[in-house]
């Protein structure tokens, strides 16, 4: 089968000399390349406008004094030095790290669920749908649901704990300094559990049956098979789930804003809510830009660290 790589020259031009034909083909190729760039233009424009330029602008803004009414003045590292002294910033950073660190808990639970759903039972699609249903829903609504679940007076969590005699006074989950962040983390894990499970399920289904059967014939027990076969082959999926989970938890503005607003005090303040408050409540765009750069660096660092932990180059994109 012959595949044509270039457009065929129209019959009228075929009679010309080969050199002229070459020039025409080159012009066609450049015209085609130009056309492809035109096709890419809208998407590129949107990414340029809303991803690339903002990051660069943030970088520049973090080194300036600027307010919407005045002119920009260079500020050197002043904003970053202020950040080092800022208690709220350190609290927000610490909270963000805790939230990132809670992602593995969700992945472990989702792995267990994926293994269960992957087994040969009837109605696995129903189970899969039920577990996944929380992910596509509006995070604001999920936040309100969990706010109600954790309610001090009549929330289900308190009610169940009191009925089971685990505690005798209700715990003000969203109003206590110790319980607020774990409550938000629980709500976050509940929402994203289905997504982790789907990713891990897809990974599980790519493991060929024959491997398990061969190992079983050789006498390996199920636990042994899990550790030696399933887990290593699942590493790309686990890495992917971790990166997505990290991205999701580091950016969970909706959940924190609606559940606790960052409080009590600053107990659930994470970097994104701090950025929002600095930028749009206090209108300190330049300081918010500095926090944004720290946030971005944290994100890149965590992704890079996860990549190294997963053995490097997992999830590399096929650039063809």
Partner 1 sequence: MIHRYPRSPIHLALILASFVMLVPFYWVLKTSVSGENIYAYPPSIIPRNVNLFYYVDVWYAIPFARYFMNSVAVSVIAVIGNVAFNAMAAYALTHGFRGKSFVVLLFLSCMMVPFQATIIPAYLITGRLGLLDSWLGLALPQCSTIICIFVFKASFDAVPRSLIDAARIDGLSEWRIIWHIMMPLSKSAIATNVILAFIWSWNNFLWPLIMTRSADMQTLPLGLARFLSYQEDTTGALYAFCIMVLAPGLLLFLLAQKEFIRGLTSGATKG
Interacting positions 175-234 with partner 1 (CB under 8 A) = 190, 193-195, 198-199, 202, 213, 216-217, 222
Q: Does 134 bind partner 1 (CB under 8 A)?
A: yes
Q: How many residues does the chain have?
A: 320
CB of 191 to partner 1, least distance (A): 10
CB of 205 to partner 1, least distance (A): 10
The enclosing H or E element of 65 equals strand 64-65
End-to-end CA gap in the chain: 22
Bridge partners (DSSP) listed for residue 74:
64
Q: Closer CB to partner 1, residue 17 or residue 164?
A: 164
- In this structure, are residues 162 and 168 in contact, taking their beta carbons and an 8 Å threshold? yes
CB of 140 to partner 1, least distance (A): 4
Choose among 284, 255, 281: nearest CA to 268: 255
Choose among 180, 149, 159: nearest CA to 267: 180
Q: Does 37 bind partner 1 (CB under 8 A)?
A: yes
CB of 147 to partner 1, least distance (A): 8
- In this structure, are residues 201 and 118 in contact, taking their beta carbons and an 8 Å threshold? yes
The stretch near partner 1 (CB under 8 A) out of 17-25, 85-93, 96-104, 279-287 is 279-287
The Cα–Cα gap between 243 and 276 comes to 23
Q: Does 305 bind partner 1 (CB under 8 A)?
A: no
The stretch near partner 1 (CB under 8 A) out of 83-91, 95-103, 174-182, 278-286 is 278-286
Handedness of CA 91, 94, 98, 99 (dihedral sign): positive
Q: Does 105 bind partner 1 (CB under 8 A)?
A: no
Choose among 261, 258, 274, 300: nearest CA to 87: 274
Q: Does 20 bind partner 1 (CB under 8 A)?
A: no
The stretch near partner 1 (CB under 8 A) out of 52-60, 72-80, 88-96, 174-182 is 52-60
Among 104, 176, 276, 310, binds partner 1 (CB under 8 A): 276
Using CB under 8 A as the binding criterion, the count of chain residues that bind partner 1 stands at: 95
CB of 157 to partner 1, least distance (A): 10
- In this structure, are residues 73 and 307 in contact, taking their beta carbons and an 8 Å threshold? no
Choose among 137, 155, 139, 158: nearest CA to 147: 155
Structure tokens belonging to residue 67: 């307010």
Among 11, 18, 42, 70, binds partner 1 (CB under 8 A): 42
Handedness of CA 179, 180, 186, 187 (dihedral sign): positive
Among 13, 26, 55, 72, binds partner 1 (CB under 8 A): 55
Q: Does 69 bind partner 1 (CB under 8 A)?
A: no
Q: Closer CB to partner 1, residue 73 or residue 218?
A: 218
Cis check: omega of the bond before 264, within 30 degrees of 0: yes
Q: Does 103 bind partner 1 (CB under 8 A)?
A: no
Q: Does 244 bind partner 1 (CB under 8 A)?
A: yes
């Amino acid at each position: 089968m012959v595949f044509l790589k270039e457009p065929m020259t129209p019959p009228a031009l075929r009679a010309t000399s080969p050199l002229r034909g070459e020039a025409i083909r080159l012009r066609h190729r450049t015209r085609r390349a130009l056309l492809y760039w035109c096709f890419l233009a809208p998407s590129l424009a949107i990414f340029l406008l809303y991803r690339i330029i903002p990051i660069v602008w943030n970088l520049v803004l973090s080194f300036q004094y600027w307010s919407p009414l005045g002119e920009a003045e260079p500020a050197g590292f002043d904003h970053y030095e202020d950040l080092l002294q800022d208690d709220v910033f350190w609290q927000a950073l610490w909270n963000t790290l805790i939230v990132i660190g809670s992602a593995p808990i969700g992945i472990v639970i989702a792995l267990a669920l994926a293994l269960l759903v992957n087994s040969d039972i009837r109605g696995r699609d129903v189970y899969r749908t039920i577990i996944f249903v929380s992910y596509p829903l509006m995070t604001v609504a999920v936040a309100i649901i969990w706010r109600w679940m954790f309610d001090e007076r009549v929330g289900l969590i308190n009610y169940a704990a009191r009925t089971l005699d685990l505690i005798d006074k209700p715990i003000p989950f969203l109003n206590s300094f110790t319980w607020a962040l774990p409550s938000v983390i629980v709500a976050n894990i509940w929402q994203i559990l289905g997504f982790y499970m789907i990713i891990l399920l897809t990974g599980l289904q790519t493991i060929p049956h024959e491997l398990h059967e061969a190992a079983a014939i050789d006498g390996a027990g199920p636990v042994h098979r899990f550790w030696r076969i399933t887990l290593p082959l699942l590493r790309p999926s686990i890495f992917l789930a971790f990166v997505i989970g990290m991205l999701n938890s580091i950016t969970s503005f909706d959940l924190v804003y609606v559940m606790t607003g960052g409080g009590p005090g600053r107990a659930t303040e994470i970097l994104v809510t701090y950025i929002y408050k600095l930028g749009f409540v206090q209108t300190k765009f330049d300081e918010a830009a500095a926090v944004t750069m720290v946030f971005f660096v944290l994100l890149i660092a965590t992704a890079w660290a996860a990549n190294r932990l997963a053995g490097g180059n997992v999830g590399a994109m096929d650039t063809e």
